Amino acid sequence: MEDFIWILIPLAPFIIGGLAIWTRHQQKIAEIQLQATAEKAAQYATSNKELEERVAVLERIVTDRGYDVATQIEALRDQRRVEDRLGAELEERI
């Protein structure tokens, strides 16, 4: 055991230096992870705000205009069918 201690004494500066470098590296990794987490939180907050705004618009449509939303959707579908037919006729002519 005494021989082992004498070997560690000259190696102590290298061990301490390596520990200091490892500690600094771990600290940098933690900072990078913290920044990435903060960026993701900001993105989620922005996305959440956009979704809340869209839901508010949908609530306004339903409550302000009553329940004729289904007829509006059907009108849009009918319009799309007409546009699809016109597009097909133009392709046939070409």
pLDDT tens readout for residues 39-94: 999 999 889 988 998 888 887 777 766 567 677 777 777 777 767 777 777 677 66
What is the per-residue DSSP string for 23-90?
HHHHHHHHHHHHHHHHHHHHHHHHHHHHHHHHHHHHHHHHHHHTTTHHHHHHHHHHHHHHHHHHHHHH
pLDDT for 37 beyond 90: yes
pLDDT of amino acid 69: 67
Q: Rounded to 5, what percent of the chain is helix, strand, coil?
A: 95, 0, 5
